[in-house]
Structure 1
Amino acid sequence: MAVLTPSEALLEKAGKLIDRAIAAGADQADAVVVRHRSTSVSVRNGQVENTNSAEADDFSLRVFVGQRVGSVSAGEGADEDALAARAVAMARVSPEDPYAGLADKEYLATDWPDLDLFDATEPGADALTETAREMEEVALGVEGVSASVGAGASSGMAGLVLATSHGFAGAYQRSGFSRSVAVIAGEGTRMERDYDFDSRVFYDDLDPAAQLGRMAGERAARRVNPRRLSTASDITVVFDPRVARGLIGHLVGAINGAAVARKSTFLRDSLGKSVATPALTLRDDPRVRRGSASRPFDGEGVAAAPLTMIEDGILQQWYLASPTARELGLTTNGRASRGAGGATPSPTNVRIAPGEVTPEEMIRSVGTGLYVTELIGQGVNLLTGEYSRGASGFWIEDGEIAYPVSEVTIASNLRHMFAHMILADDIDPKYAIAAPTIAVEGMTLAGD
């Protein structure tokens, strides 16, 4: 008798859950198993503060009785018959949902490529501890650094097993490794904090611990003795890639079909229209090899394929899962994420086409402005597009980084910001959102 792999065994169990659900009275059903395994270590001043290890397989069964939906979740070892009966009973007393149902069978993936998403390396708690200590030690050795906030390293994997009553069965797993360190530079009321981190699918792709520590220390040291700025309008703000990714994340959130259906995005009437500078093209690609957000199929089993979401500033499509697509009178484009409650749209690997200037050339062309390295607060309203965030970074003067600044607020409207972006060429594809340095003209700065 052949021995089943862990994924095959979970797929078999998911199939049995579906069979029991149909026997209990469901018209359709799907079963998901989300796998988690992780080990993490954090240190401060060379001493281990926390060591955590976790492992779980969480089952979720979703059933459809007509247009009524019921979902239940359980851990390993749950009574399958009881789980199925409970899900069907819940569905029968639920309100009807006209958009409920599995993805249309014609869109299901029948095969998929190997995206090279799993590294079996297990560094272990001792190796993670040594990595964290090395990052911290190197960071503390940078001139001007006065204290450690802490350092950490982790390894783990996450997997998805999905089976449906209309014939889909698939599984994949993705490994993940990360390192981070944060330190303080300066003394007393002039202390400033900064950090560096890295996260990769493959262990050997991580930035060296010493490099991360040195960068964190140098960033913190550069921020010592910041100045305040006077309130001004029509300022050019340059977003460092670390914060530019968040800016592009707001754009991605604004073109999510779920937000469109809820009428909670300021771009809800913008399909086929200009939503950004003509220099901006945004692609979403779930098939990036070793990509941090790659997946061979989506949370409904729909085939994954690259999409151009915005081309030359023109919005081409929304992020869609089947229920959202039905509500909007469209068809899914394979961007469903599956949670215990159902399928909702979400991005995969977001890639911005690079600009034609280097970050240095961009800063020189700005002349006078603000280079932002950190944002504070949640002052972004996707319903109206209003944007107001606390910021710190560096003042740009005569085309050069002049001195550190802090305790300022930058404000504008996202519609204006997207239309007035200038993109640099420094794309780093290792992140789920790969955004370059971005300059935005015509923002307001609130200071003293």
Structure 2
Amino acid sequence: MDENLLQDLVSAALKAGADAAEAVGAERQSLSISVRMGKLEEVEREEARDLGLRVFIGKRQASVSGSDLSAAARARLVERAVAMARLAPEEPYAGLAPSEILSRGPWPELDLFDPTEPTAAELEDQALAAESTALATPGVTNSEGGSAGWSSSAWRLVTSNGFSGPHAASGFSISASVVAGDENGMERGGEGRSQRWQADLPTPEAIGAEAGKRAVSRLGARKIASTTAPVIFENRLAMSLIGPMLGAIAGPAIARGASFLKDRLGEQIFPAGFVVAEDPHRRRGLGSSPFDDEGVANHARNLIDDGVLTTWLLNCSSAKQLGLTTTGHASRGLAGSPGVSTTNLTVRPGTLDQAGLMRDAGEGLLVTSMFGPSLNPHTGDWSVGVSGFWFEKGEMAYPVTEITVAGNLVDIYQRLVAGSDLEIRGASNSPSLLVDALAIAGR
């Protein structure tokens, strides 16, 4: 996005009566291909250029966005934003990030942009290869489809107090989902991967083979009786167990008092040795960024260090409300006030692989799929529908389905054991996680 255009937009807002302003520009291109049963099913192409403007008049603020970049449309955008701000209620904690904490660069080279632009035919070949490999798996009887995609995005933030910073990234993805069947029924399984650079993706054949394997492994899934037993959350989804913690330490939730961890800063909430690390500057990371969405410097830190909760996730407004300083976790779209989010999260691995965790636990449940989570944000009471595998004497016994596991996250977090099977698959990654006992609702 042209920096001069954004600077002009901010200047126009100040001339129209705003005390402060920030403009965001975003450009995106994407191409995705879907196939099913060896035939092309869908082609989607997107090209977009958008503007966002947020203005402040005293403690009043308003934001607007649009996709028309013409001079006349920009003038209307400014006029509308300033008029809305004059009528808005006062927000005592609203405002731009103070200039003294803005990230001025030079910013780290994060290697997030791969200039490769695959053709539709190349993406179709990848989708077909993933699907055909999955379909070739003995026991697979049908396909839900294969897909491949590419995207390229560029984003820039300009503020009236002197910040101007760009951020560009690319994305490549391949996935496949198939159905396995026998005389007892059907089960689905899938696999998908996304990377910043095309060369970092697994081959389509590897993705298809894993999709087929996962579908077939589910055949013969049965219900089990309700019980209490050890539960292991597979590394592919184990961060879903940590996710509620992130909401509970978000500054806006803490400021509202709507958090089951609101009084736990600086306390031991996980076992000794447990670490949840964040690194916004990981090279080629799916969650990487050189600065946060208010232009504030971000940096690596341990959110959980030796089991202790070390920080809230703060943007400028929630930090002001709590009498603290922003932690560089602001996140925003084109319009609206910033929220908060994390970047690249990693649960540090332990010493036992998944098989070792099962041997230690003896008998219990290995969760490989989760759906329909429910959380009471004030108490931490949590439940989720799951499927996976029952294990006995430390060995896989049979697949299971139609199960719910439940507990209180404050209690669960204190008893987590991290495995050693960490695999970097996305922006948030964890090894398998063992809880020594959870309530399991079955038939």
| Same-fold status (TM-score > 0.5) | yes
Question: Post-superposition, which runs of at least 4 consecutive aligned residues in structure 1 deviate over 3 A?
Answer: none
> Is structure 2 residue 297 aligned with structure 1 residue 298?
no
Indicate if the aligned counterparts of 2:179 and 2:215 stay in contact, CA closer than 8 A: yes
Relative to the length of structure 1, the TM-score reads: 0.96
Looking at structure 2, the residues matched to 160 and 264 of structure 1 have their Cα atoms a distance apart, in angstroms, of 32
Looking at structure 2, the residues matched to 275 and 85 of structure 1 have their Cα atoms a distance apart, in angstroms, of 49
Residues 392 and 345 (structure 1 numbering): CA distance in 2 closer, same or farther, change over 3 Å?
A: same
Query: Number of residues paired by the alignment?
Result: 439
Structure 2 equivalent of residue 226 of structure 1: 221
State the 1:189 CA deviation: 5.7
Indicate if the aligned counterparts of 1:249 and 1:433 stay in contact, CA closer than 8 A: no
Structure 2 equivalent of residue 91 of structure 1: 85
Indicate if the aligned counterparts of 1:248 and 1:433 stay in contact, CA closer than 8 A: no
Structure 1 equivalent of residue 428 of structure 2: 433
Indicate if the aligned counterparts of 2:68 and 2:74 stay in contact, CA closer than 8 A: no
> Is structure 2 residue 40 aligned with structure 1 residue 48?
yes
Report which stretch shifted further, 339-348 or 70-79: 70-79
Matched residue type, 1:369: G
Indicate if the aligned counterparts of 1:39 and 1:154 stay in contact, CA closer than 8 A: yes
- What is the aligned counterpart of 1:351 among 343, 346, 350? 346
- What is the aligned counterpart of 1:392 among 387, 390, 409? 387
Q: Could you say what secondary structure the match of 1:410 adopts?
A: strand
Report which stretch shifted further, 274-283 or 91-100: 274-283
Indicate if the aligned counterparts of 2:9 and 2:78 stay in contact, CA closer than 8 A: yes
Looking at structure 2, the residues matched to 361 and 318 of structure 1 have their Cα atoms a distance apart, in angstroms, of 34
Structure 2 equivalent of residue 3 of structure 1: none
State the 1:36 CA deviation: 1.7
Identical aligned pairs, as a percentage?
42
Looking at structure 2, the residues matched to 104 and 224 of structure 1 have their Cα atoms a distance apart, in angstroms, of 58
State the 1:397 CA deviation: 0.3
Looking at structure 1, the residues matched to 239 and 15 of structure 2 have their Cα atoms a distance apart, in angstroms, of 48
Q: Could you say what secondary structure the match of 1:377 adopts?
A: strand
Structure 1 equivalent of residue 396 of structure 2: 401
Looking at structure 1, the residues matched to 314 and 184 of structure 2 have their Cα atoms a distance apart, in angstroms, of 49
> Is structure 2 residue 23 aligned with structure 1 residue 31?
yes
5+ residue gaps, structure 2, are none
Structure 2 equivalent of residue 277 of structure 1: 271
State the 1:261 CA deviation: 1.6
After superposition, give the CA deviation of every residue in 1:367-426 in whole Å (9 maximum; x if it has no partner). 000001001213233332111111111111010011111111111111111111110112
Structure 2 equivalent of residue 258 of structure 1: 252
Matched residue type, 1:92: R
Indicate if the aligned counterparts of 2:349 and 2:422 stay in contact, CA closer than 8 A: yes
Indicate if the aligned counterparts of 1:291 and 1:430 stay in contact, CA closer than 8 A: no
- What is the aligned counterpart of 1:215 among 188, 195, 210? 210
Indicate if the aligned counterparts of 1:422 and 1:439 stay in contact, CA closer than 8 A: yes
Looking at structure 2, the residues matched to 388 and 86 of structure 1 have their Cα atoms a distance apart, in angstroms, of 45
Matched residue type, 2:404: T
Relative to the length of structure 2, the TM-score reads: 0.97
Matched residue type, 2:176: V
> Is structure 2 residue 310 aligned with structure 1 residue 333?
no
Matched residue type, 2:271: T
Q: Could you say what secondary structure the match of 1:43 adopts?
A: strand
Indicate if the aligned counterparts of 1:42 and 1:129 stay in contact, CA closer than 8 A: yes
Looking at structure 2, the residues matched to 248 and 159 of structure 1 have their Cα atoms a distance apart, in angstroms, of 30
